[in-house]
Structure 1
Amino acid sequence: MGIDPCADWGQRDLVALMADRCGVSGDPMRVDGHDVIDPERTLAGLDAFAGRIRAVVECRGAVLIGTGHPHRLLGFYAALADALSAAGCAVLTPAQGRCVDIATRFGLRTYNLDYVRGVALVREPGTESSGREPGAHTHSPLPVRIALAAAAEGDGRLPELVIGDHGWVCGAGQLGFEAIGLADTDDPALFVGEAEGVVSVVVPLDDAVRSVYYRPLTRYVLNRACLSQ
């Protein structure tokens, strides 16, 4: 996902971290059953998430938003992009159309970097014209690295805040950009990044439920950030 930890994180360390940040079982001997995310920790994360968004609004800063889970989370991020743009923030879209070669378990795949309502994602070439739902699932940090490099090479406008998940948050944070995002219990890299100060805020939540289930979270964040229309 793009995080290069400073500490040596062993299995017990990770289990303890995830228990602290998400509320999962802290027993390293538990190897089956459902994970549980403490809703109070989710709310605390959403409050901190909204606070960072409010801070970038107050300075009319530029933001870069991207997701590796577009089929589930695109609506959540698109609503944030709309609200941030309406509040006077620049929602950046660098490197649109650029090719991204990502190593997958099926071999090297070439995707195109694209933006939907201000939210970056990658998709296989030709899917837009075919009418299929856009976006491929990826945890790679390569898309955000390419986007940030293009932003630096362009008009010089770099984001004050990167919002997203998976490689978008980890990759940006590792490069020194302030990054906030969402993460499930099977994605400890973001929480490691937060613990080491590389990632500013991580909200623990299930990242694979139906898109409509995120609408209450969207309203909550916009309300807390004073961006409700």
Structure 2
Amino acid sequence: MLSVGALRAHLVAARLAGTVSTSREKSLHSYRLFAARDPRQTWGLDPEGAWGAAELLRLMADRCGVSPDPGETSGQDVIDPDCTLAALDAFAERLARAAQDRIPVLLGTGHPHRLLGFYASLAAALSAAGCVVLTPAYGRCVYMPTQFGVRRHSLWYVGGVAVVRPVDGAAGTDGEVEHGVHTHSPLPVRAALAAAAEQGGVLPGLVVGDHGFICGAGQLGIEAIGLADSDDPAVFVAEAEGRVSVAVPLDDTVRSDYYRPLTRYVLNRAWLSQ
């Protein structure tokens, strides 16, 4: 089993935590957009608090370890690896309870090129433990705003994990058509949950993912846990307000294989290793 010390060293070496690739400018810009309630940053969340830019910076310093100094406006952001480790432990604990209770789960990612393998491993382990891994609205059309205007996408599941793919001329590379597109939208999880409800099917007791998948689910009152970067204030606000149970701070854009030690650590901590 990977030790805590070894995982901490990996987090820093792979730049999953410590000094990360996300720029300070990008993070501060995201906080300002969220403070202005720009839907590009609220991700389906309707915050209860005022959450101005200064409050968001204090929250992100507390939950992620970014610099609390508003005068620090350039350079690379920092995520405290100890914050990441503590959140990973809480994340694993919640997965363990889900497996023990055999609750139905829904997994989805807006970062399929980076994080699909991480979530697919969780889906396989939860399924093996007796949880139903839900796949509602498979193939359903989802109209999503993009930089090119509203485009038609479809909801698919890869390894039990929800992703969205472009269709009918929507801008996308071959990889995006195969694996899914990068998205912050809450619309895919809303479509999945609506389909389950319409068909009288099983609703998830837990949603696992990132971006709009967990913010959108949490806003609808479904427990959610997941990963978030230092420029993802919506997830940490949702956690602070009790609509996301666990938000794990880490860089969500590194190479996909760098997440494998995290996968092993979480599955071991959750007693889900096979």
TM-score bracket for this pair, using the shorter chain length = over 0.9
Residue 86 of structure 2: which of 31, 38, 44 is its match? 44
Aligned to 1:27: 69
Percent identity reads 68
Cα contact 1:66–1:163 (8 A) shared by 2: yes
For residue 79 of structure 1, the aligned residue among 121, 126, 130 is 121
| Structure 1 residue aligned with 2:46 | 4
Structure 1 runs of 4+ with >3 Å offset: 126-133
CA contact (8 A) 1:128 1:134 kept: no
Mapped pair 1:219 → 2:261: no
Deviations 1:58-94 (A, max 9, x none): 1111000000000000000000000000000000000
1:189 paired with 2:234, answer: yes
Structure 1: any 5+ residue segments left out of the alignment? none
The two structures have a TM-score, normalised by structure 1, of: 0.97
Asked if 1:92 is matched to 2:137, the reply is no
The 1-side partners of 2:154 and 2:252 are apart by 23
SS in 1 for 2:153: strand
Aligned-residue offset at 1:130? 8.8
The yes-or-no answer on 1:157 pairing with 2:202 is: yes
Structure 1 Cα separation of the partners of residues 251 and 176 of structure 2: 28
1:86–1:14 CA distance, 2 compared to 1 (3 A): same
Check whether the contact 2:165–2:178 (CA below 8 A) recurs between aligned residues. no
What is the count of residue pairs matched by the alignment? 229
* Counterpart in the other structure of 2:248: 203
Do structure 1's residue 167 and structure 2's residue 221 form an aligned pair?
no
Q: Aligned partners of 1:82 and 1:38: how far apart in 2?
A: 30
Indicate the larger mover: 97-106 or 149-158.
149-158
Q: What's the CA shift for 1:128?
A: 11
State the superposition RMSD in angstroms: 1.6
Q: TM-score, normalised by structure 2?
A: 0.81
The answer to whether residue 158 in structure 2 is matched with residue 116 in structure 1 is yes
Q: CA deviation at 1:131?
A: 9.6
Q: Which amino acid aligns with 1:65?
A: L
Q: Which residue of 1 aligns with 2:179?
A: 134
Aligned to 2:10: none
Corresponding position of 1:143: 188
Q: State the distance in 2 between where 1:10 and 1:66 align.
A: 29
Distance 1:211 1:150, change over 3 A: same
Distance in 2 (CA, whole Å) between partners of 1:18 and 1:104 is 27
The Cα shift of 1:10 comes to 0.7
Structure 1 letter corresponding to 2:234: A
Is residue 105–residue 133 contact of structure 2 (8 Å, CA) maintained in 1?
yes
Task: Note if contact 1:163-1:181 (Cα within 8 Å) is conserved in structure 2.
Answer: yes
- Cα deviation digits, residues 195-228 of structure 1 (max 9, x gap): 0111110000000000000000000100010001
Compare 96-105 and 147-156 and name the one that shifted more.
147-156
Checking the alignment, whether the CA contact within 8 Å between 1:71 and 1:133 is kept in structure 2 is no
2:15 paired residue number: none
- CA pair 38-130 structure 1, distance change in 2 beyond 3 A: closer
When residues 200 and 218 of structure 1 are mapped into structure 2, their CA distance, relative to the original with a 3 A threshold, is: same
